[in-house]
Chains A and B, each alone.
Chain A
Amino acid sequence: MKKARLTIFCCVGLLWVLANPNPVSGEYDYINITNPFLKKIPLAAPVFKAVSNHDKELALSIKASDLLADTFNFTGYFDILDRGKYLVDPQQTGILPSDINFGNWTVIGAELLVVGSVLIEENLIKMELRLLDTFKEQMLIGKRYRGTEENYREMIRRFCSDVISLLTGKEGIFNSKIAFVSNGSGNKELFICDFDGYSPKQFTQDKQITLFPSWSSDGKWLAYTSYKNRRPDLYIRHIKENRGIIVSKEGINTTPAWIPGKFELAATLSFSGDPEIYLLTGNGKITKRLTHNRGIDSSPTFSPDGKKMAFVSKRSGSPQIYIKDLDSGNIRRLTFHGRYNTQPNWSPVGGKILFTSMGNGSTNINMIGTDGSGPIRLTHDSGNNESPSWSPDGNLIVFSSTREGSSKIYVMTAFGTDQRRLLNIPGDQTNPKWSPRITIN
């Protein structure tokens, strides 16, 4: 009976029971959507209270509160205040709003405060988390989670996700993943990690060159190029189930990009003797040719409504970004600065396209309006910066950089601020691609 109950807990996962399931919506004045990174919100995140105060509980409490601080920090919206500055320790006081003297937090500059408690009971953990507005002396969100100890990370992630939804009015990125290429094993293989770089796992075992992962818009499929059969073929593989297909035409089969909301993708194929972009079904059947130009056409990326495609073409003599309207067939050139602009990536919320520009001996990430406005350069004096890819909310950018020597994966805000390394694993990491939001089963 007890075992059955445990299983139910594990299967159901996490339960939240506290009041206020749908907290005050529409309070978006915390985070300025036009430039959320201009003024970061000072947030205090003291170590959670260990309720029965034994070592194991305290250890988990520290681990969970550190993860919470890291996760908030990752979004780029918050300035996490140094714990050394805190005047009170919620470990000693209570964590209910009525227990808190908000003056102790406003005086150190905190506008938001997260307090929490952890209780371990018979291998199950209970975690309570509250987000408080220190000036309004109000609770904005309160949640209680129950689950096994391994669930603590998921609990923190869900809480942070709710906080971001409340503060920005938009769904966060906490259910997204990042695919990338790593050669740590001696060959370039695909890996997948969580949005914040946690738990990287090897996805391919081809022992050959593997490149250019691209997520289907439901996050269930990855398309990529692999030399498993000693030539650059296009693989379309289901991530969890062992199925998929290979597109293996003469020449190259490369730079896949899925169309938002559809089981369709575009890719660069050169079986005609010339690299052109084609539209394919998710089953690898070619349905349409999208470019007709002698010379290089490649690297498609689609607008959120799937009606426009940005791509690279050398039709003017140097690689530049172009936009094709798929209904009218009209093509216009988007980039005019520099002589080497490649790797376009269209924002999933629209309006902007990231690309890389090579000049003066290095490659850097740039952003341009889809109407040609801007462009602005987001990386400076930091080695080669390549393969930019938007987070699903359009607020963060993942990219690769050689700023510390070998190529590693980095994240920055859409304004180029808060550039930091995503993960630390052996080898060179390249070609990162941020997934769309992945629905939990």
Chain B
Amino acid sequence: MPRKLWIGLTLFLVIPGLLLTLSCAKKTSTIPRGMDQMMEECVETQAVEAATVTESQKAMEEESLEAEAEKIAKAARKQFVNEDIRFDFDSSVLLRKAQEILKRKADWLRKNPGVKVSIEGHCDERGTNEYNLVLGDSRAQSAKTFLVDMGISASRFSTVSYGEERPIAPGHNEAAWEKNRRGHFVID
């Protein structure tokens, strides 16, 4: 029994040793052994060093990108809120430019799926405030319908008409009226 154990133990130690020697001999066929070991060590250190650099560089880059992305996101949000769509007098038809703006708004809403929006419809001072309150509602509805057709869920929108009650431009001329006939977007 003890003899058998000794043989087993010897095999266990010798065979892996042989295998190791074989593989080393194969690799280092042209390069002296000592150097090979040194080189390996060196490469290893370099590799480790290189890895360390890239990782720290990567972290730095990610940070600056994040800030940049945040800046872009903020600007996009700002544009979403500040960019009104305009209408012709007594009309809730979406003009070409209004449609372009609404497409941008749809993109932004797709990228910001959690956001809910209140669409305000406004009118200029001309005509009666009774009719304008209803017209403002039609304007807000037009914008909402367009955005829903662009694939944004209707449940993300509410509409509020202010009619002619909340002008942003105080004048009594076409320049002021044009600014006041608007759809405005507020993030809830």
Contacts and interface: CB of A to CB of B under 8 A. Distances in A.
A54 interface: no
Given A342-B127, A363-B127, A387-B128, A274 B133 contact: no
Contact of A358 (B127, B141, B161): B127
B126 interface: yes
Residue of B126, B131, B135, B162 with most chain A CB atoms under a 10 A cut-off = B131
Nearest to A268: B134
B130 interface: yes
Interface in B120-142: 126-131, 133-135, 137-138, 141
A295 B129 CA distance: 17
B128 A342 contact: yes
Nearest to A269: B137
B178 interface: no
Contact of A275 (B128, B129, B137): B137
Interface in A271-309: 273-275, 295-296, 298-299
B129 A431 contact: yes
Interface stretch (A60-68, A114-122, A251-259): A251-259
A268 B132 CA distance: 13
A212 B145 CA distance: 28
B131 A343 contact: yes
A230 interface: yes
Nearest to A212: B130
Given A252-B161, A340-B90, A296 B130 contact: no
Contacts of B162: 209
Contacts of A101: none
Nearest to A188: B165
Given A209-B165, A231-B160, A251-B159, A356 B134 contact: no
Interface residues of B, number: 20
Nearest to B158: A250
A268 B158 CA distance: 18
A299 B90 contact: no
Interface string B98-129: 00000000000000000000000000001111
A54 to B, nearest CB: 52
B141 A251 contact: yes
Given A209-B165, A232-B133, A319-B90, A296 B138 contact: yes
A165 interface: no
A319 B90 CA distance: 9
A430 B158 CA distance: 28
A386 interface: yes
B128 A296 contact: no
A310 interface: no
Interface string A152-178: 000000000000000000000000000
B127 A298 contact: no
A266 interface: no
Contact of A254 (B126, B134, B138, B159): B134
A270 interface: yes
Contacts of A358: 126-128
A211 B129 contact: yes
Residue of B90, B126, B130, B159 with most chain A CB atoms under a 10 A cut-off = B130
Interface string A387-409: 10000000000000000000000
Interface string B41-55: 000000000000000
Contacts of A430: 129
Contacts of A340: 90, 127
A363 B128 contact: yes
A298 B134 contact: yes
Interface in A200-229: 209, 211-212, 225
Contacts of A231: 160
A386 B134 contact: no
Contacts of B138: 274-275, 295-296
Contacts of B130: 211-212, 254-255, 298-299, 312, 342-343, 387, 431
A128 to B, nearest CB: 47
Given A270-B141, A363-B127, A255 B158 contact: no
A318 interface: yes
Shortest beta-carbon contacts, A-B, top 4: A342-B131, A298-B134, A252-B137, A342-B128
6 contacts: A211-B130, A232-B133, A251-B141, A270-B137, A343-B130, A431-B130
Given A270-B137, A356-B128, 11 more contacts: A232-B160, A251-B137, A270-B141, A275-B137, A296-B135, A299-B134, A312-B131, A342-B127, A342-B128, A363-B128, A431-B129
Interface of A: 188, 209, 211-212, 225, 230-232, 250-252, 254-255, 268, 270, 273-275, 295-296, 298-299, 312, 318-319, 340, 342-343, 356, 358, 363, 386-387, 430-431
